[in-house]
C-alpha cells in the first residue's frame, strides 16, 4: 500500500494501483496550474467519514509506492477520475469497478442516441 504525503500531514494511504491513477490526475491538473479539492472516504481508517484537502501548484506533494513499476493504466478509470477532478466538487476517489460501469453507461447512451 502506497501513500501520499501532503505538506506536513501524516501519510495518506491508498492501494498502489489507485494511487498511480490518482497521481496521474493530480499531476495533469497541477501542470495546468489548476487548483482543486481532493476527497476520499475514510473507510480504510475505520472511522468512516470523509477527508478533503485543497491541492494547488504550490502544495508539497510526494507519492510513495510499494511497487517499483507503473501498473497497467485503466483508461476508463483515469477518465472517470479526471471527470471528477474537473467537477465543482473536485476529485473524489471512485472505485475502479464503478468507473467501468459509468463508462459502459456512457457508451450505451451514446449508441442509443445515434
The DSSP code sequence of 50-80 is: EEEEEE-TTS-EEEE-SSSSPPPP-HHHHHH
In this structure, what is the dihedral angle of CA atoms 26, 53, 70, 64, given to the nearest 10 degrees? 130
Q: What is the chain's pLDDT, residue by residue, as a tens digit (114 residues)? A: 888 888 877 898 999 999 999 999 999 999 999 999 999 988 755 567 888 999 999 989 999 999 999 999 999 999 999 999 999 999 999 999 888 777 666 655 555 555
Q: Output the pLDDT for position 73.
A: 95
How many residues are listed for the chain in this entry? 114
Calpha distance 89→37 (Å, rounded) = 7
Nearest to 93 by CA among 113, 104, 105, 77: 77
Contacts for 57 with CB less than 8 Å, ≥ 6 apart: 30, 33, 35
pLDDT confidence of residue 5: 86
Distance, in Å, from the CA atom of 36 to the CA atom of 57, rounded to the nearest integer, reads 10
* 36-41/91-92 β-pairing: parallel
Amino acid at each position: 500500500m502506497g501513500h501520499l504525503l501532503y505538506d506536513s500531514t501524516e501519510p495518506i494511504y491508498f492501494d498502489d494501483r489507485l494511487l498511480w491513477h490518482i497521481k496521474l490526475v493530480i499531476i495533469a491538473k497541477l501542470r495546468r496550474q489548476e487548483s482543486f479539492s481532493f476527497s476520499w472516504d475514510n473507510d480504510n481508517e475505520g472511522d468512516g467519514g470523509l477527508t478533503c484537502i485543497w491541492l494547488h501548484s504550490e502544495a508539497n506533494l510526494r507519492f510513495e509506492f510499494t511497487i517499483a513499476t507503473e501498473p497497467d493504466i485503466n483508461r476508463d478509470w483515469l477518465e472517470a477520475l479526471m471527470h471528477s477532478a474537473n467537477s465543482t466538487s473536485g476529485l473524489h476517489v471512485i472505485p475502479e469497478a464503478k468507473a467501468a460501469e459509468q463508462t459502459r453507461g456512457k457508451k450505451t447512451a451514446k449508441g442509443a442516441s445515434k
